[in-house]
Chain A
Amino acid sequence: MILLIILILIAWVGTALAGLETLFGLVIPYVALILFIAGFLYRIYYWSRSPVPFRIPTTCGQAKSLDWIKRDRFESPSNLFETLIRMAMEILLFRSLFRNTKAELKPGPNLHYGSNKWLWLGGMVFHWTFLVIILRHYRFFLEPIPFVISLTEKIDSFFQVALPILYLSDILILAALTFLILRRIFGGPVRYMSLFQDYFPLYLISGIVLSGMMMRYLTKTDIIKVKQLSQSLIHFDFTVPSGIGAIFYIHLFLVCVLVSYFPYSKLMHMGGIFFSPTRNLANNSREKRHINPWNPDVKIRTYHDYEEDFRDKMIASGIPLDKD
Chain B
Amino acid sequence: MADGNPKKADLAKSIETESLFLGGIKPDKEWTELPVEFKPGNFNYPTKPDIIEKLGFPNPRKWTPLDEDWKLPENWKEIILQALKDRLEKNRALKLFMDTCVRCGACADKCHFFLGSGDPKNMPVIRAELLRSVYRGEFTRAGKILGKMVGGRKLTKEVIKEWFMYFYQCTECRRCSVFCPYGIDTAEITMLGRELLHLLGVNINWILEPVVNCDRTGNHLGIEPHTFKQVVESLVDDVKEITGVKVNPTFNRKGAEILFITPSGDVFADPGIYTMMGYMLLFEHIGLDYTISTYSSEGGNFGSFTTPEMMKKLNAKMYMEAERLGVKWILGGECGHMWRVVHQYMNTMNGPADFLEVPVSPITGTPFSNAKSTKMVHIAEFTADLLKNEKLKFDARRNNHIRTTFHDSCNPARAMGLLEEPRYILKRVVNNFHEMPENTIREKTFCCGSGSGLNTGEYMETRMRGGFARANAVQHVHDKHDVNTLTTICAIDRVTLKAAMDYWVPDVQVAGLHELVGNALIMEGESERTEDLREDELEDFEQGEGKDE
A residues whose Cβ falls under 8 Å from a Cβ of B:
43, 46-66, 68-72, 75-76, 78, 90, 94, 96-97, 99-105, 107-111, 113, 119, 123, 187-190, 192-198, 264, 266, 268-269, 272-273, 275-279, 283-292, 294-296, 298-303, 306-307, 309-310, 313-314, 316-320, 322
Q: Is the CB of B229 within 8 A of A319?
A: yes
With contacts A105-B16, A272-B99 known, is A303 near B370, CB below 8 A?
Answer: no
| Alpha-carbon gap, A277 to B182, bound state (A) | 10
Q: Distance in Å from the Cβ of B389 to the closest Cβ of chain A?
A: 10
B416 interface residue per 8 A CB criterion: yes
B417 touches which of A55, A72, A96, A194 (Cβ 8 Å)? A72
Q: Is the CB of B150 within 8 A of A285?
A: no
B413 interface residue per 8 A CB criterion: yes
| Alpha-carbon gap, A318 to B129, bound state (A) | 55
B388 interface residue per 8 A CB criterion: yes
When distances are taken between beta carbons in the complex, the residues of chain B under 8 Å from A279 are 182-183
* Secondary structure type dominating chain A contacts: loop
When distances are taken between beta carbons in the complex, the residues of chain A under 8 Å from B12 are 108-109
B101 interface residue per 8 A CB criterion: yes
The A/B interface has a contact count, at CB < 8 Å, of: 320
With contacts A195-B151, A317-B225 known, is A58 near B177, CB below 8 A?
Answer: yes
- For B, the interface residue count at a CB cutoff of 8 angstroms equals 118
A319 touches which of B94, B103, B129, B225 (Cβ 8 Å)? B225
When distances are taken between beta carbons in the complex, the residues of chain B under 8 Å from A291 are 348
When distances are taken between beta carbons in the complex, the residues of chain A under 8 Å from B123 are 189, 193
B344 touches which of A56, A275, A318 (Cβ 8 Å)? A56
B374 interface residue per 8 A CB criterion: yes
When distances are taken between beta carbons in the complex, the residues of chain B under 8 Å from A66 are 366, 368, 381, 384-385, 388, 421
Beyond A58-B415, A96-B180, A123-B181: 15 further Cβ-contacts under 8 Å?
A59-B416, A59-B417, A69-B420, A97-B104, A101-B439, A119-B104, A195-B151, A266-B103, A272-B99, A276-B182, A278-B177, A295-B348, A300-B317, A301-B216, A322-B324
Q: Is the CB of A63 within 8 A of B417?
A: yes
When distances are taken between beta carbons in the complex, the residues of chain B under 8 Å from A57 are 415
Smallest CB-CB separation from A107: which chain B residue?
B16
Q: Is the CB of A63 within 8 A of B103?
A: no
B75 interface residue per 8 A CB criterion: no
B residues whose Cβ falls under 8 Å from a Cβ of A:
12, 15-16, 19, 21-23, 26-27, 30-31, 88-96, 99-106, 108-110, 115, 120, 123, 125-126, 129, 142, 146, 149-151, 174, 177-185, 188, 215-216, 218, 224-226, 229-230, 251-254, 294-295, 308-309, 312-313, 316-317, 320-321, 324, 342-345, 347-349, 351-352, 366, 368-374, 376, 381, 384-385, 388, 413-421, 424, 437, 439-440, 442-444, 468-469, 472-473
Q: Is the CB of B108 within 8 A of A190?
A: yes
With contacts A266-B100, A298-B313, A298-B316 known, is A196 near B149, CB below 8 A?
Answer: yes
Q: Is the CB of B420 within 8 A of A65?
A: yes
| Alpha-carbon gap, A296 to B343, bound state (A) | 19
| Alpha-carbon gap, A103 to B92, bound state (A) | 32
When distances are taken between beta carbons in the complex, the residues of chain A under 8 Å from B102 are 198, 266, 269
B226 touches which of A70, A107, A309, A319 (Cβ 8 Å)? A319
| Alpha-carbon gap, A104 to B188, bound state (A) | 27
